[in-house]
Structure 1
């Protein structure tokens, strides 16, 4: 997989992709993430990428020309399955969407900034708009990092334990069960006996029941329409 991210603030994305799982995916040759500075596609000495909105109002708008130049240059190198725009009014990102996108080959992500991008970009070039929640960030960079991390960790071979991503919260519509590690007792608090039993069927049954119980307590909305 390759993910190309277009931004006016590339420095915001240096940290997330230089460490941990995303770095490992790059080193294994499983996934690549490339960040593109939108200003490199701007005209004039000032490399202007934004301007005032027609009709007035506060805030600046990212201009259509540099965005289209960048998109076109990237499309000349490869075919993209999706061109995503990170936006507060996009469809809310969830695990099902992450699963779907993890099956793609090439993805482009445009990060909004200021008051957003010229609407004509969204109308003609964007194939999908995504939000990570009902709140507003200063730009789409952090949201793009969240989406990228959630997608890449699902690709086979990225995680050391192939089953790890499959047992994450939301994969089966439930929150993940409690987890424990050594020591078996600490400050009077003991690990449930069943987890120390070595009985795989009983352990799996306990985990499922614990997942349902935790979901009922913390996210009952996830159980709507389910018979648990």
Structure 2
């Protein structure tokens, strides 16, 4: 596809996904700010060197231009100026290649006027997603479910066994699965490999979760060695 101009982006805002208004009229430019939360840890196998990893991200889109009265999206945003506890909205970004970023968001940094006497009034706002938005590629096959090779598992203390997850459909684009234990004092699990280890006698649930939130669970019983 190559390069494309910024105006081919499509931005929409509204109360919900079914009632969206285009943010376009009067807008001259937009910018993004994806602020990441990062941590660093030094490990022995890195010879004391550090590994950087990320724990969160805040995705914000800011707009500037001129106040276009009667534009539906600008009026929607204007109505939020003094409703400080009602700045929530649904926000959708369609990129030139068809990728869609969408989710619940909040509106801030609203500027509805400003400028010289013989100039058009300024307009600005920033829309920030709440948590992680959905990020969908065009024609991408979504995961519809996940299963584990075992729904129950019995282990002795100190023993281990690896679970295997199968993601459906087979041609799903993102088959990433992470594992977690609801009681690591009973049984632990490696988050990527799914290797379960018995810690002490008792029961725990191991849950496999796909990137889009589908889950499967294995009930683990740990017995005394």
Band the TM-score falls in, shorter-chain normalisation:
under 0.3
Greater relative contact order (Cα 8 A, min sep 6): structure 1 or 2? 1
Q: Which has the larger radius of gyration?
A: 2
TM-score using structure 2 length: 0.25
